[in-house]
C-alpha cells in the first residue's frame, strides 16, 4: 500500500489519440502511473507506449462504464492525484442542422463523460485532501465559431463545471481548471478538414495553410504543447491556480 501511495496516479479519459495520447505519454514519462479510459485501444504514433500507461476500455457516454472503470483504478491505486477529462467529439453543424440525437450524443460524451469521471475521483481526492482536476474545454468556451452549435455548447458547459467544482472542493485542497485549446493538429482536426475537403473539393494544402494563417502565431498548435500545460496545472507549481480557464490557442481569442 505504501508503494501505491508513493507513485503519483493520473486518470485520462480519451487518452488513445491526439491530445489525450500526448498527455498519457508525458505524464508516464514524468513518473506517473497513468490509466487511460478510452473506448478504443491506444495507437502511439512514435515508438512503444510507456509501461506506466494502462488502458481500460470505457465508453465515457455510459456512466456505469465510467463508474466501473473508476472502481477498477481505485482497486489498483487508492490515491488519485490527477484527473484529466479529455474525451470528446466534434460536430460541425448549426442549430437547425443539429438533431436531437446529435445533441444527446454530444452531451453524453463531452459533458456526462466528464461528470461521471469527476464524481468517480472525488471521494478519493477528498479522503486524501488533494488533487487536480483538468477538463479539456476549448477556445469555444470563450468565443463562438460558425457551425459549432452543439460543440460550443458542451465546451462552455465544461468551463462552468471546472469553476463550480473548484469552488465546491477548494476546502479539500482539490483544484479544478479547464484547458481551452484553439486549433490543434490532432486526428480530430484532420477528420474535420478531410470532411470539408470532400464536400468542397478544395485543395488540401491551401486549406491547411489558411487554418494556420488564422492563428496570430501563424501555425497550428501541437498535442504535446497542450500536454505540457496540463502537466503544469497538475504540478505543485500550480498550487494557487483553480477555477481558471487556461487558453492555449496561439493568440486566436485575443483578436
Cα–Cα distance measured from residue 5 to residue 57, given in angstroms and rounded to the nearest whole number: 24
Element (H, E) at 150: helix 149-169
Of the listed 151, 189, 231, 252, which one is catalytic? Answer: 151
Distances, alpha carbon 236 to alpha carbons 81, 177, 187, in Å: 11, 14, 31
Known active-site residue 151? yes
Cβ-contact 212, 220 below 8 angstroms:
yes
Query: Which SS3 state, helix, strand or coil, does residue 39 take?
Result: coil
Residues contacting 87, CB < 8 A, separation 6+: 13, 14, 20, 37, 38, 60, 109, 110, 113, 114
Distances, alpha carbon 104 to alpha carbons 48, 110, 214, in Å: 36, 10, 31
Element (H, E) at 245: strand 245-248
Task: From 136, 145, 98, 131, select the one nearest 230 (Cα to Cα).
Answer: 136
CA 62 to chain centre: 17
Cβ-contact 150, 216 below 8 angstroms:
no
Active site residue ranges: 151
Amino acid at each position: 500500500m505504501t508503494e501505491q501511495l508513493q507513485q503519483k496516479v493520473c486518470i485520462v479519459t480519451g487518452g488513445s489519440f491526439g491530445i489525450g495520447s500526448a498527455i498519457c505519454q508525458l505524464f508516464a514519462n514524468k513518473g506517473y502511473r497513468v490509466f487511460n479510459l478510452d473506448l478504443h485501444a491506444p495507437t502511439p504514433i512514435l515508438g512503444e507506449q510507456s509501461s506506466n500507461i494502462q488502458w481500460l476500455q470505457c465508453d465515457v457516454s455510459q456512466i456505469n462504464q465510467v463508474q466501473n472503470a473508476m472502481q477498477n483504478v481505485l482497486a489498483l491505486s487508492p490515491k488519485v492525484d490527477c484527473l484529466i477529462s479529455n474525451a470528446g467529439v466534434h460536430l460541425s453543424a448549426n442549430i437547425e442542422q443539429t438533431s436531437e440525437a446529435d445533441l444527446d450524443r454530444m452531451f453524453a460524451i463531452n459533458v456526462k463523460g466528464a461528470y461521471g469521471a469527476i464524481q468517480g475521483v472525488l471521494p478519493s481526492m477528498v479522503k486524501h485532501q488533494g488533487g487536480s482536476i483538468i477538463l479539456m474545454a476549448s477556445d469555444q468556451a470563450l468565443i463562438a465559431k460558425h457551425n459549432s452549435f452543439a460543440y460550443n455548447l458542451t465546451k462552455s458547459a465544461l468551463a462552468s463545471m471546472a469553476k463550480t467544482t473548484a469552488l465546491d472542493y477548494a476546502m479539500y485542497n482539490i483544484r479544478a481548471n479547464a484547458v481551452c485549446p484553439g486549433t490543434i493538429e490532432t486526428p480530430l482536426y484532420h477528420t474535420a478538414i478531410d470532411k470539408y475537403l470532400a464536400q468542397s473539393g478544395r485543395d488540401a494544402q491551401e486549406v491547411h495553410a489558411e487554418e494556420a494563417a488564422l492563428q496570430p502565431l501563424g501555425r497550428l498548435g501541437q498535442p504535446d504543447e497542450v500536454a505540457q500545460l496540463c502537466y503544469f496545472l497538475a504540478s505543485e507549481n500550480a498550487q494557487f491556480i483553480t477555477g481558471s480557464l487556461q487558453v492555449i490557442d496561439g493568440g486566436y481569442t485575443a483578436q
